[in-house]
Amino acid sequence: MMGKTKSVVLAAALIGGAGAMLQGTANAQDERFRLERTEDGYVRMNTQTGEMSLCREQDGRLTCAPSSETDDSSQMSLQSRLADLEKRVEKLEAEAKPNTGLPSEEEFDQTLGMMERFFQRFIGIVKDLDAETDTPPNKPAEPEPGEDASRT
């Protein structure tokens, strides 16, 4: 039964929250509480704080009580967890290296090595092209293997 109530409360919260967001700001100020019908009665949600109450009709009157999900022990537990997480984030932020936008020494050396290899290969290609174009223009071309040298 408790699981069913939690599901109803959650569904009502989602519906109520979505409805509150869709209303205009003037209308939202006028309507502080929103009621949603459930199988067992109503769920009343405070649209300003998000606090929910379970309501039942008794003797023609609507009686509301705070939802059991908002008990003090669970709220204290959540506040404790939040404080622990905030401390952890502060510690991690303090330990983090500032991002200067510059590469590390290792990344720089690796990139420089790639650039050196690129330029060495490029210079090798240029030297090969120079060697091909440096043949004297009056020198007859050498015969291909298998060709008769006397025919040229």
* Same-domain pairing of 13 and 65: yes
Is 21 domain-assigned?
yes
CB burial class (10 A; 0-12, 13-18, 19+) of residue 28?
middle
pTM for the model: 0.29
Q: Which domain holds residue 120?
A: 100-132
Contact (CB, 8 A) for 111 and 103: yes
- pLDDT at res. 75: 72
Q: Give me the residues of the chain with pLDDT under 50, please.
A: 1-2, 26
Is 79 domain-assigned?
no
Number of domains in the chain: 2
91: enclosing H helix or E strand = helix 72-95
Contact (CB, 8 A) for 44 and 52: yes
CA dist list (Å): 145 to 49, 109, 135, 138, 140: 95, 48, 19, 21, 15
Is 144 domain-assigned?
no
Give residues with Cβ within 8 angstroms of 46, minimum separation 6: 32, 33, 52
pLDDT tens profile 83-93: 999 999 999 88
